[in-house]
Amino acid sequence: MPNILSIKNFFALLLIVTLSGCVSSSIDPSRYEKQSSYTIINDEPTKLDLYFAREVASHFLIDETGFHPLDKGHDALLARLAIIETAQSSIDVQYYIFRDDEAGNLIAWRLFEAAERGVRVRLLLDDMQKYDDNDLLRFSSHPNIEVRMFNPHHLRSARGIAMLSDFERLNHRMHNKSLTVDGVVSIIGGRNVGNEYYSIESTVEFSDLDLMMVGKAVRQVNRQFDLYWNSDYSVPIEWIAPNQDLRYTDADVEAWVNELGLEAKFSGGQYDFAKLPLYNDLVNGTVELYWGIGDLLYDLPNKPDSKQSTLIDSLSVVLDDSKTSLVFISPYFVPTEQGTKDLINAVEQGLEVIIITNSLASNDVFAVHGWYAKYREDLVKGGVELWEVKSNAEIKKNWSLTGSSRSSLHTKAMVIDKRKVFVGSMNLDPRSAHLNTEMGVVIEQPEYANKVYDAIGKEISKTAYELKMVDGDLIWFDHATGETLTSEPDASIWRRMGAWFSGILPIEEQL
């Protein structure tokens, strides 16, 4: 069949930024000896092996991946804690953002407890977020914990100056997100570590999607993590932080946990884990898995230097083979001129193309919206079905009160021909295409793909505005109320001005 939509073409005219160098000259790898380490192969089955043994055994010969979707924030947090607390040999943690809030502190506490049990913990963090280096150094001082930073800033207390002095290098970030325990179970998807991703009280609540996986894709996640962990871009925190004898004692951790009230907060009241349906499924061993054929797709750590996205190259093969429908869910959507043409061409070739992204009011980066807005009219005129999520969209959750004043789409997913799904960290924008490293899994699973497609059809009219052209003008139609709006819904004049101004700046390649 003809090439209906080439993901290569989709990103082809996005500006390719050539970045050079792995680490700053102020952090010289030749001065140190970095110990390589790799996924631990367990001699005996672990608890997690035994937990999923029956299902894995029935699918092992055909090398499938089993997965349980985590589409609610509280379930995503509970699942992470559950596998960490079950760990016996190793935990590998890889995130773009790891916040110092309830969610971050709770996970850090459980990681420390695992290390106390003798579990090896490898923590790899991107260095875009500002961390307390001394806290990370204390954490890494535990004999069973090692912390590394991906492509770190060389001026720790003057990051703005660091960016100006070394912009090309520091503009390359690790956006990958994974948590793997005992080399057996992995959780990957769109969520970082922070309250807003897990339905805990925050000014904004993200609607997101992760997959908890076993089987073939987990082995691929292990290889991906080892590749990043041992790359020149991953720098031990000891090379960065001042050389001090900083350590956490058991008394320190106990006082810290008591001060924050972490245990009490999540074992009673509003955030009681035991009240969640997934809690009982985990305890009773009744977690249901979908099984399908698929692979983990990921960029190499040196992506900008190589000027190649191995993820996009692999995903292009899947999308080029699409025959009936494509659903793209991306919170940050900047299709570019060529990408817009490719999407319209797909419609002209007979595909149903649906795009779901944030409205200006629900987008936490209005500069992205400013550039995306340039392509809306062409997309709608070309037959693309375009939806923008409301800022007050109801997010499915059991924790009834989050304190959030605004909801925002954060899911990065695709549904292809109602047969395959892609879930990962990649947005449809120039930054994901050329600057950040990304990862995701594509799995052929018609039952789940159909379920997601049908759920979108039922929910989208309640949670999003459909964009249409009426008498030559772009309008936002609210199916829930029947109301027609002629300007950016729910957005203040200041957000509109900010988005407009961003749209005239030459920054598309950075978004």
pLDDT tens string 61-104 = 788 999 999 999 999 999 999 999 999 999 999 999 999 999 99
* Cα distances (Å, whole numbers) of residue 80 to 35, 110, 195, 211, 371: 27, 10, 14, 11, 35
Tell me whether domains 47-284 and 295-510 share a fold.
yes
Query: CA 234, CA 94: separation in Å to the nearest integer?
Result: 11
| Residue among 417, 420, 429, 434 flagged as catalytic | 417
What pLDDT shows up at residue 224?
Answer: 98
Q: Clarify whether 175 is annotated catalytic.
A: yes
What pLDDT shows up at residue 393?
Answer: 77
In the chain, where are the structural domains located? 47-284, 295-510
| Residue among 175, 369, 397, 420 flagged as catalytic | 175
Query: CA 460, CA 277: separation in Å to the nearest integer?
Result: 25
CB-count exposure of residue 62 (10 Å: 0-12, 13-18, 19+): exposed
pLDDT tens string 413-467 = 999 999 999 999 999 999 999 999 999 999 999 999 999 999 999 999 999 999 9
| Residue among 410, 420, 429, 434 flagged as catalytic | 410
Collapsing DSSP to helix, strand or coil, 148 comes out as: strand
| CATH number for region 47-284 | 3.30.870.10
The per-residue DSSP string of 466-509 comes to EEEEETTEEEEEETTTTEEESS-TT--HHHHHHHHHHHHSS-GG
pTM for this model (two decimals): 0.92
Q: Are 411 and 421 in contact (CB under 8 A)?
A: no
Torsion of CA 101, 105, 106, 108, to 10 degrees: 140
Q: Clarify whether 378 is annotated catalytic.
A: no
Q: Clarify whether 177 is annotated catalytic.
A: yes
What pLDDT shows up at residue 100?
Answer: 93
Q: Clarify whether 74 is annotated catalytic.
A: no
| Residue among 75, 182, 208, 210 flagged as catalytic | 182
Query: CA 360, CA 357: separation in Å to the nearest integer?
Result: 10
Q: Clarify whether 341 is annotated catalytic.
A: no
Q: Are 189 and 425 in contact (CB under 8 A)?
A: yes
pLDDT tens string 325-352 = 999 999 999 999 999 999 999 999 999 9
First to last CA, the chain: 33
Fold of 295-510: Endonuclease; Chain A (3.30.870)
Q: Clarify whether 390 is annotated catalytic.
A: no
What pLDDT shows up at residue 30?
Answer: 53
| Residue among 74, 153, 154, 177 flagged as catalytic | 177
Question: Which secondary-structure segment (H or E) carries 379?
Answer: helix 376-381
